[in-house]
Amino acid sequence: MYEGYLRTLLEPLGVYDLTAGTINGAELYALGGSLDAVSEMLDTVERESLTATAEDEGLHRREALFARRSAAVTPEARRAAIAALLQIDGDSLTPADINKTMRGCGIKARAEELGDGKLRVVFPEVAGIPEEFEQIRDMILDILPCHLGVEFYFRYLTWEECHKVGFTWQMVEEAEHTWESFQVAIPPEE
CB-CB contact of 184 with 127 (8 Å): yes
Rg over alpha carbons for the chain, rounded to the nearest Å, is 29
Query: Confidence band (pLDDT; 50, 70, 90) for 74?
Result: confident
Burial class (CB in 10 A: 0-12, 13-18, 19+), 35: middle
Q: How many residues does the chain have?
A: 190
pLDDT number for residue 40: 94
Neighbours of 186 (CB within 10 A): 15
pLDDT number for residue 71: 66
Overall average pLDDT of the 80-97 stretch: 73
Cα–Cα distance for residue pair 66/93, rounded to 1 Å: 19
Cα–Cα distance for residue pair 98/140, rounded to 1 Å: 9
CB-CB contact of 59 with 75 (8 Å): yes
Tens of pLDDT, residue by residue over 130-186, are 888 888 888 888 777 778 889 999 988 888 888 888 888 888 888 888 888 888 887
Average pLDDT, rounded, for the chain = 83
CB-CB contact of 24 with 17 (8 Å): yes
Query: Confidence band (pLDDT; 50, 70, 90) for 92?
Result: low
CB-CB contact of 122 with 109 (8 Å): yes
pLDDT at residue 78 tops 60? yes
pLDDT number for residue 43: 94
The most confident of the ranges 29-38, 87-96, 176-185 is 29-38
CB-CB contact of 18 with 26 (8 Å): no
Q: pTM (2 decimals)?
A: 0.55
Beta strand pairing status for 110-115 and 149-155?
Answer: unpaired
